Amino acid sequence: MNFILFGPPGAGKGTQAKFIVDTYSIPQISTGDILRDAVKSKSPLGVKAKEIMNSGALVSDEVVLAIVEERLAKSDCDNGFVLDGFPRTLPQAEALKALLGKNSKKINCVISLDIADEVIVKRLSGRRTCSVCGAGYHLLADPPKTDGVCNKCSGTLVQRDDDCEATIRKRLQVYHEQTSPLKEYYENGGFLFHVDGTSSIQEIQTTIQSIVKSTNV
Ligand code: AP5
């Protein structure tokens, strides 16, 4: 099963991608995580991407497509994958379709997590991420057992550089201008499923399982 998790910043794409990974044993491909790793390691890609990401803008299609093409070529994607934060522009969506088509593959299911901007601004101020293993938390919706400490590896929890209010608002603007038109693109393909992103994390998981059953893939 090949998934796309679609939605604005903070909609819960990463959270649900982890659930899909655990439930369906397929890898998560998060372009945001790959770019953040590059920033952390100060690789040439990371140096280029850092300023763009911190401003809330999108990294170029060319750079992101090269990342995704390399990742999808790995053998762990043979039985499916979940794309998180990609595609984000029409050229990215068209390039993905062409890339998958070359290998007789296609996207089976696009899950759109729908949520209003003001909910996101409030929600993202409570996000914390483990600086060691990358596990995600929320101070109210999904708190760690011990304040500031990762449940899984005891690493320190940190706030993302782009989770300040001004950058969140810029990311939302970019989403509405460049990414949300993709909803129509996938709706026309007949495999876009809308999910209420304000439901609880567990309720969304149950909905995703029902959607997967209904697709018969
Ligand atoms: P990226 O890392 O993809 O960020 P994003 O799309 O802005 O999404 P987020 O990671 O902020 O949110 P999410 O939807 O995954 O939510 P999460 O599950 O963490 O991209 C970062 C940057 O990289 C971009 O701005 C861009 O510069 C660049 N980039 C990446 N991909 C690119 C591309 N394809 N093209 C060009 N540039 C690209 O949840 C958020 C919080 O809410 C967490 O604390 C979580 O615990 C909590 N939460 C989750 N679900 C719920 C719920 N149902 N109820 C309550 N709380 C919840």
Specify whether 127 is catalytic: yes
CA of 71 to the centre of ligand 1 (A): 19
CA distance readout (Å), 29 to 32, 34, 122, 167: 9, 8, 26, 23
Specify whether 171 is catalytic: yes
Specify whether 88 is catalytic: yes
pTM: 0.94
Tens digits of per-residue pLDDT, 147-161? 999 999 999 999 998
d(CA 212, CA 217): 8
- Residue nearest to ligand 1 atom 29, measured at CA: 32
Gap between the terminal Cα atoms of the chain = 6
pLDDT attached to residue 88? 98
Q: Where are the beta strands (DSSP E) in 91-206?
A: 109-114, 127-130, 136-138, 157-158, 192-196
Q: Is residue 8 in contact with ligand 1, taking CB distance under 6 Å? A: no
Q: Is residue 133 in contact with ligand 1, taking CB distance under 6 Å? A: no
Name the CA radius of gyration of the chain, rounded.
17
- Examine the pLDDT at 216 and tell me if it is beyond 80: no
d(CA 27, CA 145): 27
Question: In this structure, are residues 138 and 127 in contact, taking their beta carbons and an 8 Å threshold?
Answer: yes
Q: Is residue 139 in contact with ligand 1, taking CB distance under 6 Å? A: no
d(CA 114, CA 198): 8
The two tokens of residue 20 are: 């899909």
Tens digits of per-residue pLDDT, 90-137? 999 999 999 999 999 999 999 999 999 999 999 999 999 999 998 999
Question: In this structure, are residues 186 and 192 in contact, taking their beta carbons and an 8 Å threshold?
Answer: yes
Of all helices (H) and strands (E), which one includes residue 102? helix 90-102
CA atoms within 13 A on the CB side of 108: 16
pLDDT attached to residue 189? 81
